[in-house]
Amino acid sequence: MELSPFIEMLSGNIIMEIAIVIILATILSFFVRLFKQPLIPAYIITGLLLGPIGLGLIKDPLAVRALSELGISFLLFVVGLEINLSKLKTVGPAAVIGGALQIIIVYIVGFYTALALGFGQFEAIILGLVLTFSSTMIVIKLLSDSEQIDTLHGRIVLGILLVQDIAVFLAIPLLATLSNFSILLVLIIILKALALFLVAYLLGKYIFPGLFSFAAKSQELLFMSSITVLFLFTILAHLLEFSIVIGAFVAGLSLANLPYHHDIKGRVNPLKSFFATLFFVSLGMQLTIVPMNFLKNILIFFLIAVFAKPIIIYILTTLFGYEKRTAFLAGLNLGQISEFSLIIIALPYVFSLISQELFSSVIFLAIITMILTSYTVEFQNGIYNIFLPILKLFEKLFPIKLKHELEYKPREKRIDTILIGSHRMGSIFLSSLTKFKKNVLVIDNNPEIIKNMIKRKVSCIYGDVRTKEVLDNLKFRKIKTIISTVPHGEENLFLIDYAKSKNSKINIFVTANHFHEARKMYRSGADYVILPHLLTGEKVSIILKKAFKDRKYLEGLTKKHHKLLGLDESLINKF
């Protein structure tokens, strides 16, 4: 059967072309997940297959690219919603000063490397900027997917990206006006940026709280209101001659402190995922054949983005007093070039100020560094363990006093129980274990939780149990029980294997969200697998049985819940 007439019939219609994109991306996603690989490579390969160097099925790549810009906008809107400035205060110096120094150092390295490779001064300026910035879109997506936003390295990464994004806000408008550059023009751009942030601040503080309080009564109205704010700021950014994605980011910031920002994020996430897929497909479509004589240059720029930049960030973060793992992961997460780099390279390309070969080289560099990041974040603990001997050697050669050690371990206290994760369900377990007079050590990767434990004089360590270094410091022979409230399958399987190899008599309680995960954990040697949904049903059945017989029991239970939720006792009758 001849397929070309069928393909020709589908091509040229934007709806049909998007349908082809989504169907092929989904099919490839099934294949990559079958081999437990990240999804982003599947999306980019989809673009390569459908683009000019592949089958050439998409006749209107500009339309797909325009829709992909919506993907960046939705993602940066969600990024803005995620940024709680109060949480970033704890990493402020490392993020602001360290982020600014990183921009300057990497730009200088990129600029002079480009000159040494024979590029002109203008091209060197562009390449310096391209290499300087990291991808807010891919990093936040990967950190969110792996629930690492609230970790210490996640907050440092978020802070550095925020500094980078502000620098981009200034760089992109300046690039568009290089022919008539002046100090006055720089001041005008800075004033415009300040005006945009000021509008966001005023609306977020005085208008949006009341407006969204009313909108929150209807989930549909809440969704429409948030999308309206997104598009309102994209229009405002466009009028001020900024990129619309900058407007989307500022829109998210304006709603970040509302009590409904989690609901808004939940509503927008499906749209973000859909359009973000189109972005990565579009990225693959933009690639054309890269000349062989450019491959050496690409390799050198790749080494700067993937190795030099993370090393610079690692050293800067260490100088601010953070321990080696936090500094290493902060650098590792930022080892790629940005989606904004594509805008930076596109502006001079449109005006024929740079060659097609250089433009294609940067697109290729963006693709390979973004694909690599999806793997480095997925396997970051294994990568950290590989580099650990080098990091320990660096510590010995350049000893730096740690200012941000997050642990409390009294020497006289003999630990018999380890609790991994002390948020929500974990906090209830900790309360029970304290009543049972167990000597508990809490392990958590949320710095706020660990700080709270330190204030309460509870033995605790900041860290991730997937890191062998954390587990090696625990005396497993003396530990009787381990409880993991973190429902991560691979993490719990690693924990079971490691703990049982050290102490076969240890009791291990782990958490799973799905039956198939629970089966794997039992097969690996878990003594009990906590299935929250199953336990909830059993617990509620017991509560109902007791409540039918004793009204006072229900009232007592309700008071406990109000206390846990932080509700005022005088308001109880209103709920």
Give me the pLDDT at residue 84, please: 66
Shared domain check, 560 and 412: no
Q: For the chain, give the mean pLDDT.
A: 83
Query: Per the domain annotation, does 162 fall within a domain?
Result: yes
Shared domain check, 415 and 391: no
Q: What is the pLDDT of residues 400-450, one digit of tens each?
A: 777 777 888 887 678 889 999 887 788 888 888 888 888 899 999 888 888
Query: Per the domain annotation, does 126 fall within a domain?
Result: yes
Contacts of range 320-324, beta carbons closer than 8 Å, 24 or more positions apart: 320/93, 320/94, 320/97, 320/98, 320/403, 320/404, 321/400, 321/401, 321/402, 321/403, 321/404, 322/94, 322/152, 322/156, 322/402, 322/403, 322/404, 323/402, 323/404, 323/405, 324/391, 324/392, 324/394, 324/395
Assign residue 96 the CATH number of its domain.
1.20.1530.20
Give me the pLDDT at residue 104, please: 94
Shared domain check, 541 and 524: no
Nearest 10 degrees: CA dihedral of 438, 444, 447, 448? Answer: -60
User: What are the DSSP calls for 77-89, one per residue?
Assistant: HHHHHH--HHHHG
Shared domain check, 556 and 436: no
Shared domain check, 418 and 383: no
Tokens 């970040």 label which residue? 256
The answer to whether the beta carbons of residues 330 and 124 sit under 8 Å apart is: no
Query: Per the domain annotation, does 7 fall within a domain?
Result: no
Q: What is the pLDDT of residues 529-557, one digit of tens each?
A: 888 877 777 677 787 777 777 778 777 87
Query: Per the domain annotation, does 150 fall within a domain?
Result: yes
Query: Per the domain annotation, does 190 fall within a domain?
Result: yes
Query: Per the domain annotation, does 18 fall within a domain?
Result: no
Domain count within the chain: 3
Shared domain check, 416 and 348: no
Give me the pLDDT at residue 75, please: 75
Shared domain check, 316 and 203: yes
Of 215-229, 277-291, 403-417, where does the model show the most confidence?
Answer: 215-229
Give me the pLDDT at residue 3, please: 47
**What are the backbone angles phi and psi of residue 484, rounded to the nearest 5°?**
-110, 120
Shared domain check, 465 and 376: no
Query: Per the domain annotation, does 52 fall within a domain?
Result: no
Residue 106 CB-density burial (10 A; 0-12 exposed, 13-18 middle, 19+ buried) = buried
Q: What is the pLDDT of residues 311-328, one digit of tens each?
A: 999 999 998 888 888 999
Find the domain containing 562 and state its range: 537-574
Instruction: Give the domain-ending residue among 397, 425, 450.
Output: 397
Shared domain check, 569 and 522: no
Give me the pLDDT at residue 9, please: 58
Shared domain check, 545 and 514: no
Instruction: Give the domain-ending residue among 347, 366, 397.
Output: 397
Assign residue 505 the CATH number of its domain.
3.40.50.720
Shared domain check, 498 and 391: no
Give me the pLDDT at residue 10, please: 55
Instruction: Give the domain-ending residue among 371, 397, 423.
Output: 397
Query: Per the domain annotation, does 27 fall within a domain?
Result: no
Shared domain check, 492 and 558: no
Through-space distance between the first and last CA atoms of the chain, rounded to whole angstroms: 67
Average pLDDT over residues 105-134: 92
Provide the percentage of residues in the chain whose pLDDT is more than 70: 91
- In 301-412, the DSSP E strands lie at 407-408
- For residues 524 and 183, which has the higher predicted lDDT (pLDDT)? 524
Q: What is the pLDDT of residues 352-371, one digit of tens each?
A: 778 888 888 888 898 899 88
Give me the pLDDT at residue 5, please: 56
pTM: 0.80
